[in-house]
Structure 1
């Protein structure tokens, strides 16, 4: 009886050790699988966020480039309009100056020494020349 009980005791211990090894191996496999899944999840999340960041950055660059191009075209158009406007004003002022010069010459030829008309015309001519110079400076600044 002792031998049977020893054998059953020995078999029970071997079975218990086998179960314990299986449970340890199962636990190691289970933890390893979860570690791989968690690591893979972190890797995929990092990859996805990097990819989204690249896509968003490229999209913002495209939008910014398009907006800058539109703004540049609008600026160039406004500058061309201002340039044309100043050129027209300068031409008009040039015509006025020429007309004043003619009038001044006529007045100077016809005026006697006591009249003050020539001084007034010179003053007006100088004012027009000053305005013309200011317009030229403004045009140079815009260019």
Structure 2
């Protein structure tokens, strides 16, 4: 009956088998899963990068705040110490000036009362010179601090 020219309704063209072959279905599923895995990996990489950048910004901001607080504390401590040093130098200057004044008075009194006793006068002048020298050194120190 093959030669009769009647087609067999049950015959399937060869192209149909190729399109519906299980191998082609597996290849499409494999490509889908490969694309899915690549998308998941890319998402993970992006998420990791985003999270690490966020943490880095937070750490940087925390360090900046801590540094600013420490600098402010150090500056306040420095200013208080400087003010204390300045006060101490002013007190020492006042004391030395009073000592110089006292020595000047003693020197004047000793000079007026004892013209013949030049040794005592020389000792007082020497002491006065030493006190003036100390006063000048303290003034220089104060100028350096300012």
Cα offset for 1:139? 1.3
Q: Deviations over 1:118-143 (max 9, x none)?
A: 11111111111111111111112222
1:90 corresponds to which of 88, 93, 103: 93
The more displaced of 112-121 and 64-73 is 112-121
- For 1:14, the equivalent position in structure 2 comes to 17
Cα offset for 1:70? 0.6
- For 2:113, the equivalent position in structure 1 comes to 110
Counterparts of 1:74-89 in structure 2 under 5 Å? 74-89=77-92
Unaligned 5+ runs, structure 1: none
Q: Deviations over 1:8-45 (max 9, x none)?
A: 8x59x816852111111101110000000000100110
User: Please, what is the CA RMSD of the aligned residues?
Assistant: 2.4
TM-score (ref. length: structure 1): 0.87
Query: In the comparison of the two structures, how many residue pairs are matched?
Result: 140
- For 2:60, the equivalent position in structure 1 comes to 57
TM-score (ref. length: structure 2): 0.86
